Structure 1
Amino acid sequence: MQWPPDASDSDDPRHVFLDARDVMTRYGWGKTKGYQNLKDRELVPPPVMTHPNRWRLDQLLAWEEKRMALAEAAQGALLAPDREELTLTELLPQPKSRRQSA
């Protein structure tokens, strides 16, 4: 299947099935990391069909929404309640301290 699917293929994501290669392409995963991620049931929802594995697009979209909501909640937890917003450099890990040369 070509990614992204043409609108003429089907407008209903319940009728669009993606194989492992399509899912890896959708998320930008390489072959090795993609197959590792697809086997991890805590990370990616299980396929709806096995032999060959197929994932329904609507279930992947729901999974994406859930992951985005969790990421937004985590970002909200990082923000201090007394501060409106943090800069990007404040959210990144701080560099290691360097020794002062004598």
Structure 2
Amino acid sequence: MTMMTISEPSPDVDPRHVFLDATAVMARYGWGKTKGYQNLKDRDLVPPPVMVRPDRWRLDQLLSWEERRIALAEAATTTLVESRRGPALVDALPSPKRVPRRSA
């Protein structure tokens, strides 16, 4: 078992054998101490640790979690962009009640 305290391990290390403590996970995602511990307790946000007391997260599980979140963000962005390409705002507005007179 390899204990890493850095946010990016060397490429020759198998991520299944790299365990990150809470400090390393918070450093990886740029979270401060308070927000980091709140995020690490939220099981809907971050996957649960594989080891408890002390908490340790496996790097390969964090990497797959990151990929899922990136895919969801890209899908949401694509949907947003496509929805903006829909009908123009003018087409969505109701027609005017009065037609202006033309001056002769």
Larger radius of gyration: 2
Task: Give deviations 1:39-70, integer Å, cap 9, x for gaps.
Answer: 00000000000000000000000000000000
* TM-score between the two structures when normalised by the length of structure 1: 0.73
Percent identity over the alignment? Answer: 68
Aligned residue in 2 for 1:7: 10
Q: How far apart are residue 5 of structure 1 and its match?
A: 4.8
Q: Which amino acid aligns with 1:74?
A: A
Aligned length: 82
- Structure-to-structure mapping, 1:19-30, within 5 angstroms: 19-30=21-32
Distance 1:5 1:78, change over 3 A: closer
C-alpha RMSD of the superposition: 1.8
Q: Which amino acid aligns with 1:63?
A: W
Q: How far apart are residue 13 of structure 1 and its match?
A: 0.1
After superposing on structure 2, the runs of 4+ consecutive aligned residues of structure 1 that deviate more than 6 Å are none
* TM-score between the two structures when normalised by the length of structure 2: 0.72
CA distance in 2, matches of 1:6, 1:68: 20
CA distance in 1, matches of 2:23, 2:62: 14
CA distance in 1, matches of 2:31, 2:79: 28
Aligned residue in 1 for 2:66: 64
CA distance in 1, matches of 2:84, 2:14: 44
Aligned residue in 2 for 1:47: 49
Unaligned runs of 5+ in 2: 86-104
Unaligned runs of 5+ in 1: 84-102
SS at match of 2:82: coil
Q: How far apart are residue 3 of structure 1 and its match?
A: 1.3
